[in-house]
Structure 1
Amino acid sequence: MSEPGSTPEGAAHGASERSTRGRSVVATLRQLWLGLSTYRLYPENPNRPGFAPAVERVALAANEALATGPVDVEVRGDRIVWEGEPLPQDDALDRLARACFERRVERLTVLSVPDAADLERLYEVLSRPAPDLEEAGGAEAALRDSGVASVSLSPIGPGPVEEADHVPEELVSTPLDERLDADVLASELMVEDLGGTPQDQAETLLRRLRHVLGDTSTAVGSRIDTHAAIHDLMGDLPDDVRRSFVELLVDRVAQDPVAERLIGTMSNADLTRALVDIGRSGRRDPVELARHLAVAGARHLDIIDLTKALAAGHEDAGTIIAGLEQLGIDVDRIDEAPGGGSVLEVLAGYLRDTENDDVRAVQAAVHASAEETRGLQAMALADYLALETDVERAGEALGIWADELRDALRRRDERAVHSLLQPVREALLGTGEERPALFRTYVRRVLEEGVVVDAVIADAADEEPRLASLLEPFGEEGVEALLDLVSDEEDRGRRALLLGALRRIVPGHPKLVAARLSDERWYVVRNAVSLLGSAGDPSALPRIAEVARHPSPEVRQEVPAALAAAGGAAAVPDLVGLALGPDEEVRRPAVSALGSLVGPEALEALGEVALRSADRALRLQALDELAGRAEGREVLRRLRSGGPGGRLPWRLRRYAGRLLSSGRGR
């Protein structure tokens, strides 16, 4: 008998199960990062907007992933490894890995579905500075001491998790106080005994590191806090030896697993600066070294552009001067960068790929700016976009802009939204086909569901609602985003809030709403009818009237009120037609809509319905509407006594007489 999985069918089934399991692991990790992002927006606020939905999404993803066992992954630099293989490149996963790596966390394990309290404590740990965590005994101890049992953070070294996907290599118990620092590592490597040329010393150092890192039989090699210790050790090496060592690692990265691992311990910022340092010594072209790393698969292609920029001097993110220079970019030297390259492409690389300190420096330059400074930044970005001919590079710049705009929307900062949005809109719209499409793509990223829903929730609790004024600068894109959200929103309260915001925005965009009248979903058409009516545009009357033939009664019943709101007196002929028409679903709403209008046209129309309708209940309703209005009572008297238009039947005349005598409607 063949063993399970030994047949082609078994192998295919196993691969399918692993793929499904992998997707659930990725989904869980991605939701963990999104929850952390939400937490970091309002770290001191226990009722932070959007956190409860984030907790729910984490629970849903984790529940599915945990059905087949704990989620157990390794963190290696800015990558996450599951079952011995790196997970696919994903911005959320990379950021989660970086948040762990910066705090010396090399393993993340989800053992059970974390609740809101567990996630809050986990995110608090992953938001604390690394030195604070070290003083608290490390991330593992800090999380454990807070009472969290559903998730664990640890350096490589704790025992395997029962039923875990994968037991990492080098997995042995590692008490925190036994970790070796750079000095101990230097002693183990006998750094002081290195001799010969810098190249010889680099060869010797790599050979000794290979022995130490590969020797799992001794406590020393298995207890090294690899990333931090090697990082510190390299910083302590003499300049020539350090350059030779980095150069050797780059040359060997494709063939030597240890060289690949050591390169992996370096952040993009450290690695780029090391390459540029080699270039400035005249030894090698740093861009060629970066290209070698990219070709070998040890780094993404953006390491090349980042190296070009740093080699050209675009490094100081703390310089605060006008325009793009506020972000530490020497715009006068753009053309000097080897091989060209976009300044904002470099900035995108920083925000995406550099270590925590670099990200904080760039963000500080952006977030700490005054309102006038932010406007200058946006105008400088608009000028750049107007000149940038490479759509891909423009897209990278827009990615940074979108992050800023999204943050402003979360803060509900109307001025920031306007100052960031308007210059870029003017630079990209009306300039061919590609750029408007690019603008719309990134605006829709800003207006993602979580951001807009959070703004809706916050707006509901605000005495002075601002959602409409926040979204109005987005123009058609803002209307489309809200329409999509209304279409998919199941919560009635949120849907009402979204519709309220749309009613204040759609008067300037009736065509966008009218386009939704052809949607196959009846509730989308119903919302569109209501919104078209609230726009108050008489030109929309023909389109609204057409919807009176819609197969859904819920849609048809919405038409009369929309006609009245859109056209006022101009809607009277359509409303009379509906009131006297064959559709019982819209007759009463049509009479109610006529009763909501002011002016003689509506009163005469109610009289016509009272005279001509074959539906007795509808005639009574029309008489009630007339009796409730001072001007309508005169029409009521005429209908009772007879006149040019005709006279009511006997029973209806008696009813009209009672209405006139009582002074009120039925």
Structure 2
Amino acid sequence: MANAKTSGERAPAAIESLVKQLVVTYKAVKLYPPTSTIPRENAREVVSALRAQLRERSGVRIVVVKEGLFFESLPILPDQPAFAAFAHELYARKLSDIRFHSGVSETEVTAFLSVLLETPEEIEAAGGFEARLWERQVDGITIGSAATKFVDTNIPDAVEEEVVEDNVWPPDNARIESLLGGPYGIKPRDQRLLMRFVASPKLVNRYLQDVALARAASGPTAALAERVSMLARIANGELAEDRHALFRSIAEAVMGLDPETRHQLLVDRLLADARIDDTVAEVIRQLDLDEVCRALAEGLDPDPVSREGISRALRNLALISIAGKDDVSEAARSALADAGASESDITEILDQALPTHLQVIRKTEEQEREPIDGVLKLIDLAPSRDLMTDEGDSELKALREEALANVSDGEVIAALVTIATLERRPEVFSSILASVEGNLVMLIEWGEYEIAADAALALSTLSCDETLSEPLRARVSEVLMSLAEPDQIRIIARSMRVFAADSPEHATCRRLLGLLGGHTIDSLLEVLADEPDMAARKALVDLVTDLAPGHVQRLGEQVSDPRWYFVRNVVSILGSTRGSDTLPYLGRTLRHNDARVRRETIRALSNIRDRLADEMLTAALADEDAQNVQLAARYLGGVGARCAVKALLAVAQGEGRGNRDVGPRVEAIEALGRIGDAGAIPALRSLTGRRSILRSGRLREVRAAAESALDVLASSERGGA
């Protein structure tokens, strides 16, 4: 950065123009109240400038240092005090970089800049800048945080030499083993060393080859798989823009192993591990499909065990979504043919790996000898030969052969569900239902969402069929509930993020969730609580929000959960329904012991137009958290809640229970001005006349807000007259 700065180079004009508009918007957010349209209009200009940049790149990253802002190591508007001051504001709040992503909105820009209005201490107390962005539901802007550490510069000579020795480049195998095997993680310096090592495919390949040679006698597969997994997990902890290159480096190192070791590693461990370890799956996804299939085909032996291993590996390859089933099948067929496999062997391997039909295996068994009387009895019980044979009916014979040869696993389950809707004998019905229950969840794992949705519709209808006894209807509901388990819902939610919103697959998944109805809400909330990715969390919240109307009671039962972040998600979803039936549950969360849950409750109440909701917002003015009191006062002023005038006056005068800092008082005064109640004029006038030598700066804000509110009330009276 320093080189660019001294050489006279500067960031592109478009980036400097973007930052200029960002600073203008920041000043507007700072000067104007939240209800003003001026900050939003300026933010709209920022978004327009960002869209022009996001057409050429995936994101815009601005680096923050104490001296100023940088874009791709080039200084932005250097030696200009206004922009240096803005950079200092960011730096003081421990921001190291800001990333603007595709889809960022003007609301997110103003929300991001409004966080800058808070003091560094307030941001730190709230959990950090990133936590404040999450509370304001900002997804299009992410930040990196900086940390300051104090170290002793007087390092003894022996220690200094030891540090130099530890960082010999390239590191030897013993050094890498010690870094990977550390019981308490690794230091930042060692992390950088390890990431530099992982970024070199040649070094990683050399290391893996040495591990394979050291374990050659006992079999190297397990040791190699363990180290690939550890390297992948460490790479996954890096920045998103760096992960792809690191995963690619590990993948190239694996493919650089000798053919026999590589084949054994892929077949026996890596492709199987990829189904349960997303980081290993990311490594495999960096490889070309044809390349992987050729590596699998190279180790094909005539024995059945080898064919079975390759089939299992191909099945795992399709399950981690490296490509579609048809693409995997085509690539595998080509690779096996190039490796010299016969057509029959190829067909057998692919049928085992990616079955599309049930195979009916007919067995010829030697009949046990039975007494002649038993044989005669069987003959007497059998129907006539004319009814048993289809030799004279070619259409019936063709139908029977088609039924045996062209039925997929999903179609068999669908047929069982259809039979269950027709059967009424209790014993037979229970037996069929047990078969359905054991296989129904497999439809989700196979991605057969269309069949799963049809089955859910049939079972849902059957559970309401009055011709069934009550115990059997309850049993049907229990089977239907198996589709709504967290594991199944997690798969469906992941698929909905993969498929486009207007695709048939996305519509089918949504239909399935709609049929399951309220049964899915508990599972979706659990998946939401465990999801670490912010974008995925937002998608899940939207999904539950669509299902929330009509299931308020089921959602309300979750507000007693001990996890504050779980309850906050529930409150946000309850607020999205905008229904007064949520108020009993929001009344409980308004008294939650975590201020963030209470804050989300205040936001939810602002969406509900009901007198009780206004009274609950009025009660929130007694909150001990300053932000909560400000938020409640702002919403009460926005809706013109005259029932809150008395409580707002108490806040404005610094009286009563709850937080009475300057921020809440100013917000309450502005709310009184927006409500327009003439009864507040005497109290506001008394606030404009107060003088004090001590705390004069704080009282000045209160006086200014009171004068502004009186002007608003006066103009309202003139307008009314």
Q: Per the shorter chain, which TM-score range?
A: 0.3 to 0.5
TM-score (norm 2): 0.43
The structure with higher relative contact order (CA 8 Å, sep 6+) is 1
TM-score (norm 1): 0.45
